[in-house]
Amino acid sequence: MSASERAIIAAEAHSAHNYHPLPVVIASAEGAWMTDVEGRRFLDMLAGYSALNFGHGNPRLLDAARAQLDRLTLTSRAFHHDRFAEFCTGLAELCGMEMVLPMNTGAEAVETAVKTARKWGYRVKGVPENLAKIVVAAGNFHGRTTTVISFSTDPEARADYGPYTPGFEIVPYGDLTAMDTAVTAENTVAVLLEPIQGEAGVVVPPPGYLEGVRRITRERNVLFVADEIQSGLGRTGRTFACEHEGVVPDVYVLGKALGGGVVPVSAVVSSREVLGVFRPGEHGSTFGGNPLACAVALEVIAMLRTGEYQRRATELGEHLHRELGLLTGTGAVTSVRGRGLWAGVDIDPALGTGREISERLMERGVLAKDTHGSTIRLAPPLVIGKEDLDWGLEQLRAVLSG
């Protein structure tokens, strides 16, 4: 029995089976490449669902983490620490906002955004108590907490967890007419959207959709909350995916890449009017905004300010989509969606499920992940080299050609 097989059997024996990972056991990684316990190398074409935008073991991020580890890792929010103000100021400036509420995971940040919108609705907008409504989109993925799955349309995420949290209305993604109908001026406090739906298969909305949502929400005094946890921080070729339509939301929800693949860091970023609704004791997190998280996130912010990673995502993304577009002419790929260095690839179901395609890619040294039927997602680290990207695409072509 191999070392990988032993590790997988032990994991399945002693861990809940809430994931179905590919049968590979990673031991080390650098840049866009990972190595398993047997020493086999794999090209990472998933990047931790965008948590690893800057690659594995990025020297700048590891140096920032090591320096902070020698000084201070946690105080809780019971005390101030010397990295907190710098982090909040830097992230607010990057977003063009005024205030930051730091958390840890993306799901926590979404929950925080929901609470923020409701509290703003009651304290600022004047919505009657317990009548606040948030409009969301079908096909969404904002996490797996009890409240978040209450407005999911994915049966796997939602089944057997009721009773569900009320206060949400679901409309088709990309349907501006449905959005216009759902956003009532009186009790609607927010529209919560992914600018590009990642888990749904990297679904890009029709041109003008985000701009239309921004117009509707502004006209009716409703918050536009953009979940940029996967789409933000360079992935699409811009710092935020909303920028592709020239849209600035009222609230950014950030996570994944903000922690540089080193520690979990998330945040809600908005104006003083919106985040100013919180008073001491009304919301919190022991680890949210801890010194280690702030140190790493500050380096992420500094790296994004250079524009280097946004440019790489744009240039390599154009190449990625051009090459994937050629596959649609072969009949093996039925459609390709995405923006920047991010793509959803629909495979002809006759060739296999997304899981089966991912397993065949793994056998050829490429790690990607399926979602929904015969769709696979490609989201390599932004530091990937063009030659490595081409090699990965060559393996995909080989898998699809049989």
Q: What are phi and psi of 53, to 5 degrees?
A: -55, -35
Does the domain at 72-305 match CATH 1.10.287.130? Answer given as no
Catalytic annotation present for 227: yes
Please tell me whether residue 353 adopts helix, strand or coil conformation.
coil
Look up the pTM and report it: 0.98
3-state helix, strand, coil in the chain (%, to 5): 40, 20, 40
CA distance 70 to 291: 11
Q: What is the pLDDT of residues 199-237, one digit of tens each?
A: 999 999 999 999 999 999 999 999 999 999 999 999 999
Q: What is the pLDDT of residues 101-142, one digit of tens each?
A: 999 999 999 999 999 999 999 999 999 999 999 999 999 999
- State residue 397's pLDDT score: 97
Catalytic annotation present for 256: yes
- State residue 88's pLDDT score: 98
Query: Checking phi first, is residue 319 left (phi over 0); if not, alpha (psi -120 to 50) or beta?
Result: alpha
Q: Which of 134-138, 306-310, 329-333 has the lowest mean pLDDT?
A: 329-333
- State residue 372's pLDDT score: 87
CA distance 256 to 320: 22
Of 119, 125, 256, 369, the catalytic one is: 256
Q: What is the pLDDT of residues 360-383, one digit of tens each?
A: 999 999 999 999 889 999 999 999
Residue 73 DSSP label:
S
Of 227, 250, 346, 370, the catalytic one is: 227
Q: What residue type is assigned to position 3 of the chain?
A: A
Of 42, 54, 141, 287, the catalytic one is: 141
Nearest-Å Rg of the Cα atoms of the chain is 21
Asked whether the predicted pLDDT for residue 392 surpasses 90, the reply is yes
Residue 127 DSSP label:
P
Alpha-carbon distance values, 358 to 22, 56, 354 (Å): 8, 21, 6
CATH number of this structure's domain 3-57+308-400, picked from the four choices 3.10.20.90, 3.30.800.10, 3.30.750.80, 3.90.1150.10: 3.90.1150.10
- State residue 29's pLDDT score: 98
Segment 61-84 shows an average pLDDT of 98
CA distance 402 to 382: 29
Catalytic annotation present for 240: no
Asked whether the predicted pLDDT for residue 402 surpasses 80, the reply is no
- State residue 80's pLDDT score: 97
- Mean pLDDT (the chain) is 97
CA distance 21 to 34: 15
pLDDT band at 81 (very low <50, low <70, confident <90, very high): very high
Q: What is the pLDDT of residues 179-199, one digit of tens each?
A: 999 999 999 999 999 999 999
Exposure b/e, 153-188, CB count within 10 A at least 16 = b: bbeebbeeeeeeeebbbbbebbbbebbeebbeeeeb
Domain boundaries, the chain: 3-57+308-400, 72-305
Asked whether the predicted pLDDT for residue 352 surpasses 80, the reply is yes
- State residue 329's pLDDT score: 84
